[in-house]
Structure 1
Amino acid sequence: MPQLEVDGAVLAYDDEGPRDGGAAPLVFIHGWTANRHRWDHQMAHFAGDRRVIRLDLRGHGESTGAGVRTIAELAQDVTALLDRLEVDRFVPVGHSMGGMISQTLALAHPERVERMVLVDSIGRMTYSRGRGLLMAASTLVPFKLFVAANIQRAFAPGYPREQIREYVRASAGTPREVVMTLYGAMRAFDVLDRVGEITAPTLIVHGYHDIQLPVRQMLRMAKAYPDAEVRIIDAGHELPVERPAELTATLARFLGPASAA
């Protein structure tokens, strides 16, 4: 497992697949409290014919570091990694918070983003007054209960409970400072009025049963994109692990053959 030191953090990452193809590398970016292994199915599929990169974000998985306050700062970590790997043009594939990072990258570096994929992500988190108060109150409960409540509700009804418990345990291993700070960063994230500037072809894939970031909020964002394709899948908020093969097939259709990219 290679690592990179960036601004007080050590980032763990994987860099696989051929370097001599014509396709821009895929850069997989996981979500809040998750890690790079959310993308195991997609990495295994795409590494056969194109370069694929994934990382554990600062403070997640096998990466160290804290102190990040905004989504933009996480995007800077991704940019630093890609610069070190001498990757110019790329295709960000972001899940949830990773999709927020992807949009930030597309706005900051439009010349580098060839295409983009957003999975269960939005451009602005919107709540009713009652839901906002409930979300704020949830931060006052014990940390492990807060994490468990958020992760359990991310999966569609019927997903195996034992597997959900494993994801809860893994998420609770993320440092409290990282979890709570980035929870606030996601709530503050807002690029909805700017997504019309993103001209890169964009695939937006969303779980029909997603109650973390509801479909209606995604559709509000999708309408603002100049060149967006939307796909709805029968899943909750954790599409990469709930429906891995279906998500991979959807990505493959959007990306096309590596030689033709």
Structure 2
Amino acid sequence: MPLLEVDGAALTYDDEGPRDGAGVPLVFIHGWTANRHRWDHQVTHFAERRRVIRLDLRGHGDSGGAGVRTIEELAKDVLALLDHLKVERFVPVGHSMGGMISQTIALAHPERVERMVLVNSISRMTYSRGRGLLMAASTLVPFKLFVATNIQRAFAPGYPREEIREYVRSSADTPREVVMTLYGAMRAFDVLDRVGEIRTPTLLVHGYYDIQLPVKQMLRMAKSYPDAEVRILDAGHELPVEKPAELTAAIDRFVRTAQAGETTP
């Protein structure tokens, strides 16, 4: 379990798979209150034949550090890790907040992003006035209740309750400062008017029952992407664990298309 010190935080990461002749690395970036193990299914699959990198973001999982305030700061941590590993070009695969980080990188450093995969992610959080007030009010409840409510509603109906409770417990271990600050950072994140600048081929995979970041908001974003492919799966917000095999297959097809030099339909 290697560590990298970045601006006072020890970032935990995994770097697996072959280094040569297998395409550029895939870089898996988890979402809010999660950790790198959200990607276990995908990493196990891809590491057999290509380099795969994942990390626990600052203040999450096994990584230390707090004080992070913006999506841009998290993006800098990801790039610092890749610079350390001497990775120039890569394919970011970002879930939820991780997709916001991926878009931030693609806009700031387009030369480094070969392709991009956004899983249950959007470019701008847009809600009615009533929903916005409800979200703001939710921050006033006790911390563990706030986390539990947000994580429970992330899963589609029918997902095993005991597994959801495990994810709630794991999320509640994330420092309160990190959880609340990044909750605000996600609500403030807005690059919708700039996604037309992202020329790299992009796969948008979303859960039909996602009520955290509704699918209609993703479709609104998709219209602005010059080169986007959309896949909608029968799941909620937590696609990497709700539909791991289907998500892995969608990513696999997308990156294989790039290796074959074909144009994604």
Match of 2:205 in 1: 205
CA contact (8 A) 2:22 2:49 kept: no
Match of 2:162 in 1: 162
| Whole-angstrom distance in 2 between the partners of 1:172 and 1:21 | 41
Any idea what SS the aligned residue of 2:110 has?
coil
Q: What is the CA deviation profile of residues 225-261 of structure 1, one whole-angstrom value per residue up to 9, with x for unaligned ones? A: 0000000000000000000001000111111078647
User: Are residue 19 (structure 1) and residue 22 (structure 2) matched?
Assistant: no
User: Are residue 120 (structure 1) and residue 123 (structure 2) matched?
Assistant: no
| Whole-angstrom distance in 2 between the partners of 1:107 and 1:253 | 24
Any idea what SS the aligned residue of 2:192 has?
coil
Please list, as runs of the form range in 1=range in 2, the aligned pairs for 1:67-106 lying within 5 A after superposition.
67-106=67-106
Identical-pair percentage: 84
The structural deviation recorded for 1:21 is 1.7
AA partner of residue 211 (structure 1): I
Q: What is the CA deviation profile of residues 147-167 of structure 1, one whole-angstrom value per residue up to 9, with x for unaligned ones? A: 000000000000000000000
Runs of 4+ in 1 over 2 A off after TM superposition: 257-261
Match of 2:46 in 1: 46
Match of 1:10 in 2: 10
Q: What is the CA deviation profile of residues 158-188 of structure 1, one whole-angstrom value per residue up to 9, with x for unaligned ones? A: 0000000000000000000000000000000
Any idea what SS the aligned residue of 2:127 has?
coil
AA partner of residue 244 (structure 1): P
The structural deviation recorded for 1:68 is 0.9
| Whole-angstrom distance in 1 between the partners of 2:22 and 2:178 | 37
The structural deviation recorded for 1:62 is 0.0
Match of 2:191 in 1: 191
Calculate the TM-score normalised by the size of structure 2: 0.97
AA partner of residue 119 (structure 1): V
CA contact (8 A) 2:22 2:51 kept: no
| Whole-angstrom distance in 1 between the partners of 2:219 and 2:110 | 22
| Whole-angstrom distance in 2 between the partners of 1:132 and 1:99 | 21
Match of 1:246 in 2: 246
User: Are residue 234 (structure 1) and residue 239 (structure 2) matched?
Assistant: no
Match of 1:145 in 2: 145
| Whole-angstrom distance in 1 between the partners of 2:183 and 2:128 | 18
**Could you say what the CA RMSD is over the residues aligned between the two structures, in angstroms?**
1.0
The structural deviation recorded for 1:127 is 1.1
Any idea what SS the aligned residue of 1:111 has?
helix
